[in-house]
Structures are given as structure tokens and as C-alpha cells.
């Protein structure tokens, strides 16, 4: 069972990788960046807090956090902004400004985190952070392409997830019907038992009355 479920999940991932490659066409760098940026289930992964509130809360919290945590916090907000940009094309210009501002803050925090790990001699970590810096600069420079691909990808995923949600609702309805039928059967059994007990009680009383008349 576990192996079969794992194979199904692997097939789903490969399918979405193919979709993303198709959307990116021959642009391998765009594909590489978006493969680590977009979510298979944006509804579950992305915060539901209003974007403006999320930005305000993040700005307050990062003051007391290290550069690495600040980078992660800003990344969460950027994910939210990118998703909303993909779903609201009429407001794209506004979202582009928000995303570019967030990217700038992410890059700044990442550069400072990189400096810190370099001082500690963590070359592998520094190289990883350098790649992240490159990717976020790429996002800012190619923001229109990033949003275009994200829009198509997320719209496709939302259709799939919506269909999945409807299937789950139908299964739950069937399970609920099953529960109701079982409960009704149990109640009916109780009613049958109750009727049998009532019958036995009436017969017992009848016999008792008949015996009492015999002694009158």
C-alpha cells in the first residue's frame, strides 16, 4: 500500500514537472528558479492572512530576528504576493512593485547571512546562499515572465485541486450516507428488540391476569 501510494505521488510530481517545463519552454533557468519557487498546493502552502497585514506583521517581527529567519519571513510574504499576482492580472503592476520590494529585502538579508557564514568558514552554506541570491535577482529581473508562468501553473493546479476537493466531498457524502444507514439499521434493530420485549411483557401480564382469575 505504501509503495503504491509513493508511486502515485511520484507520478503526480513528474506530471507537474512536465507542465512547468512546457510553460517555461526552452528557458532552463526560468524552469530551475520556478521549480523551487512554486507550490503544488498553493492553498495549503501559502498564508491566508491578508497581504497588507502579513507585510506589516513581518516588518515588525524581522527587527528581532537573525538574517536567516528574516529571509524566510520575507520569502513567505513574497510567495503570497506572487500567488495573488497570478490570480489578479488586473492588479499586476501593483503586485510587481510589492514583489520587487520584497525580493530586495530577501536579497539584502541573504547577503548578510552569507557574510556571517563565510566568516565562520561554512563555504558550502555560503555557496548555497549565493545561488539563492542569484535566483531572487533573476526573479526581480524577469518578474513578468515569472508571473505569467505562475499564473498558468497555479490556475491548472487549482482546477486539479478543485476536482480533488469535489471528489473528497463526494466520498465524505457517501461515508455520511453509510453512517446514517448504519445508524438507522441500529435504531430499527433497537425498535424490533423493543417491540419483542413489549410483546413478551404483554404476554407475561396476560398469563398473570389469567392465573389470578383462576383463583377468584
* 80: in domain: yes
79-134 pLDDT, tens digit per residue, is: 999 999 999 999 999 999 999 999 999 999 999 989 988 888 888 989 999 999 99
- Residue 54 falls within a domain, yes or no? yes
pLDDT for residue 4: 46
Overall domain count for the chain:
1
Question: What's the CA gap between 33 and 167, in Å, rounded?
Answer: 32
Do residues 149 and 34 touch, judged by C-beta distance below 8 A? yes
Asked, for residue 150, whether it belongs to a domain, the answer is yes
Residue 199 lies in a domain: no
**35 is in which domain, residue-wise?**
16-170
Are the C-beta atoms of residues 117 and 126 closer than 8 Å to each other?
A: yes
pLDDT at 14 over 60: no
Quote the pLDDT of residue 63: 80
191 part of a folded domain: no
Amino acid at each position: 500500500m505504501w509503495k503504491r501510494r509513493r508511486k502515485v505521488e511520484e507520478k503526480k510530481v513528474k506530471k507537474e514537472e512536465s507542465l512547468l517545463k512546457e510553460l517555461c519552454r526552452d528557458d532552463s533557468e526560468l524552469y530551475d528558479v520556478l521549480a523551487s519557487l512554486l507550490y503544488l498546493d498553493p492553498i495549503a502552502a501559502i498564508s491566508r492572512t491578508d497581504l497588507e497585514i502579513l507585510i506589516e506583521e513581518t516588518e515588525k517581527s524581522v527587527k528581532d530576528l537573525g538574517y536567516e529567519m528574516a529571509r524566510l519571513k520575507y520569502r513567505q510574504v513574497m510567495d503570497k504576493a506572487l500567488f495573488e499576482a497570478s490570480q489578479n492580472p488586473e492588479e499586476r503592476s501593483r503586485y510587481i512593485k510589492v514583489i520587487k520590494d520584497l525580493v530586495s529585502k530577501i536579497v539584502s538579508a541573504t547577503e548578510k547571512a552569507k557574510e556571517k557564514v563565510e566568516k565562520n568558514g561554512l563555504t558550502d552554506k555560503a555557496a548555497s546562499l549565493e545561488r539563492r541570491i542569484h535566483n531572487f535577482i533573476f526573479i526581480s529581473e524577469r518578474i513578468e515572465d515569472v508571473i505569467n508562468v505562475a499564473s498558468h501553473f497555479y490556475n491548472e493546479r487549482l482546477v486539479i485541486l478543485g476536482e480533488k476537493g469535489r471528489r473528497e466531498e463526494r466520498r465524505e457524502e457517501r461515508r455520511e450516507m453509510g453512517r446514517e444507514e448504519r445508524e438507522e439499521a441500529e435504531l430499527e434493530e433497537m425498535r424490533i428488540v423493543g417491540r419483542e420485549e413489549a410483546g413478551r411483557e404483554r404476554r407475561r401480564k396476560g398469563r398473570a391476569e389469567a392465573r389470578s382469575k383462576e383463583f377468584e
